[in-house]
Structure 1
């Protein structure tokens, strides 16, 4: 790879840039500093909603744009405002959930509320796949729909994530986009919205182009981002579906896989 080829570096967080303890290594921070020193931009592109990523952006020193909520939000961290956001129609979400339960039995659901201060609401029986992320438990499913939402998160007591996602895709149709973003994280988001749509909007706002973009990820929700970018790098522990479309595979997130590639592309000194 030509080290002058990339002006935009897009990274997923969980399982990619972040280690298992939710931290970013000093080596990765140094590599991102090298990216900035070369005049390139780093964009976080995450499934987490903006309110759940704000402290991480602060730690990374990000004061510009971030793509959040699986592409449903383009968040300006410096101004603490949404540059762009799309909500999931709550009636369609409820209908989609009913269709899924008609096929597989009871699922447990959570939602991410829209907005820079939106909450994650979880119904009885739902277990957060990432215990470090805050959530508010509600008593009844009806309470999940009380304010605008960006996505629905689903869990099933017996089906694997792949099985639940496959069934959801088969029955939901155009009601929503189904994605899988991590262990225990099958999601419904607005139809047609992906990490690629959010990344494309952010890049356009910054005057950057897809052919100058290198992207890093680990799960199937990163596939559209890889298809949009010029070069996609999957982590060693990535889902097989993502590895199948990646241009290369790096080491794990615990072994600084993002930094390994950035050091090669942008240099180490």
Structure 2
């Protein structure tokens, strides 16, 4: 099987804790020969530590909501090899957004390094090295991901703004209340996972995915068995085939254990 796992709110609690049950189940799945693929909105540099805790030192990782795909390789200089990077010109979207959200914090990803940011983000929200630059230096070249952080905005505000501005040349995902990601048009966790599935020669009916956020919807629809976490909102749960317990109940562990016993 190919088992795709979101990280934050699915494997990791809001306190950034990873249960022993999840760690053991992931280890058992891999011991049986299954492919456990971490798929997150995080940058790759913010995912390698989670992979290490899970004991995953080889295999595929989907980062930046599908814009970056890497293969873990302990022999590589950074512990991974970049297999695919999908980029876009962030300038038009950034300029439009800035007109309506002038006080928001903006960031663009630098793959394998960190982010260029307009001002410091709260510690732990973005992985890697953060480099503060003037706003107009965010679009000096194409990027994989744009992050917009506007604490005064709600999820509904973000959705309404995107529709109003007509940002139809990017893919967007609204995270928690103050957060929105922009990615290249048509790029999601699902598009990257489909390429990984083909590379691993896993049959479509042998795919499983677990997630809790709006950026997981396409992934849950893509998987033969898409599982939403119990705390996910109605739209995410509607995209899934089933719903497990919440992060507080360690819901992902129950699903992973069922895969171990099912073989």
2-structure distance, mates of 1:218, 1:260: 15
Give yes or no for contact 1:31–1:268 (8 Å, CA) kept in 2.
no
The structural deviation recorded for 1:196 is: 0.5
What residue is the counterpart of 2:67 in the other structure?
72
Shift of 1:170: 4.1
In structure 1, the residue corresponding to 2:249 is in which secondary structure?
coil
* TM norm structure 1: 0.86
Q: Distance in 2 between matches of 1:213 and 1:245?
A: 15
Take 2:142 and 2:244, find their aligned partners in 1: how far apart are those partners?
A: 38
The structural deviation recorded for 1:107 is 3.0
User: What is aligned with 1:3?
Assistant: none
Tell me the secondary structure at the aligned position of residue 232 of structure 2.
Answer: coil
Q: Which of 174, 177, 187 is the equivalent residue of 2:168?
A: 174
How many residues end up aligned between the 2 structures?
A: 257
**TM-score, normalised with respect to structure 2:** 0.88
Worse overlay, 68-77 or 164-173: 164-173
Cα deviation, 1:92-145, whole Å, max 9, x if unaligned, reads x2211222344455432111113xx22222213x63484474452414112323
RMSD: 2.3
Select the residue among 187, 196, 202 that pairs with 1:193.
187
3-state secondary structure, aligned to 1:174: coil
Q: Which has the higher contact order (CA 8 A, sep 6+)?
A: 1
Asked whether the equivalents of residues 165 and 178 of structure 1 are also in contact (C-alpha less than 8 Å), the reply is no
Cα distance, 1:265 vs structure 2: 3.2
Which residue does the alignment assign to 1:99?
Answer: 96
How far 1:183 sits from its partner (Å)?
Answer: 4.6
- What pairs up with 1:13-52 in 2 under 5 angstroms? 13-52=7-46
Corresponding residue for residue 145 of structure 1: 139
Gaps of 5+ in 1: 1-6
SS at 2:145 equivalent: strand
SS of equivalent to 1:254: helix
Cα distance in 2 for partners of 1:160, 1:176 equals: 20
Alignment partner, residue 109 of structure 2: 112
Deviations 1:10-47 (A, max 9, x none): 10001101122323211001111221233321110111
Does the 8 Å CA contact 1:76/1:83 hold for their aligned counterparts? yes
* 3-state SS in 2 of match to 1:16: coil
Q: Does structure 1 residue 86 correspond to structure 2 residue 86?
A: yes
Q: Which runs of 4+ in 1 moved over 6 A?
A: none
Does structure 2 retain, via aligned residues, the 8 Å contact 1:34–1:268?
A: no
Give how far 1:238 is off.
Answer: 1.2
**Residues 127 and 56 of structure 1: CA distance in aligned 2, closer, same or farther (over 3 Å):** same
| Other structure's SS at 1:74 match | strand
